[in-house]
Amino acid sequence: MNNIDGHTTSRVENCRLIELGKNHHANGNLTVVENCMQVPFDIKRVYYLYDVPGGEERGGHSHKALKQFIVAISGAFDVVIDDGINQRTITLNRPYQGLLIVPGIWRVINNFSSGAVCLVLASEHYDEGDYVRDYDEFLKLTSTKRAK
């Protein structure tokens, strides 16, 4: 991964699924997520997406520095990750499994099932300056960084 001019260039292979512990009990299961333990960064922000209408997408951006860990708390959805060269679609549908997304990866979240809840743990507080929201700009930044 390169970090030049504030934009990190990563590959989809740098993103990975992480299995969280599943503590099974007769009266229900429990999964724990702690700072810098199951998730490989300090969690500074938590948010969740829900009631996403059928056919709608979320995301559609990349981050310069922010790392994210995405979990399907309920239901299912797809996360399309893109490094400007390769794309990969990961279906999240288990509350004890999450997807680590590193900086410099374009992501789109789509195909939400009815009742899906998408939990996002983020490594940084909200900062609009960290977002790259235009795909053509993302491709330009990515190709420039890979050429150096």
d(CA 79, CA 54): 15
Print burial letters for 18-29: b (CB count within 10 Å at least 16), e (below 16): eebeeeeeeeee
Q: What is the pLDDT of residue 3?
A: 47
Q: What is the pLDDT of residue 37?
A: 82
Each residue's pLDDT tens digit, 1-28: 444 445 556 899 999 999 998 898 899 9
The CATH number corresponding to 2-147 among 1.10.3720.10, 3.10.105.10, 2.60.120.10, 2.40.30.10 equals 2.60.120.10
Q: What is the pLDDT of residue 134?
A: 97
Q: What is the pLDDT along the chain (148 residues), one digit of tens a residue?
A: 444 445 556 899 999 999 998 898 899 998 888 888 889 999 999 999 999 998 999 999 999 999 999 999 999 999 999 999 999 999 999 999 999 999 999 999 999 999 999 999 999 999 999 999 999 999 998 876 555 5
Q: What is the pLDDT of residue 20?
A: 92
Query: For residue 133, how many other CB atoms are within 10 A of its CB?
Result: 10
Six token digits for residue 33: 């997520």
Cite the active site residues: 61
d(CA 60, CA 135): 8
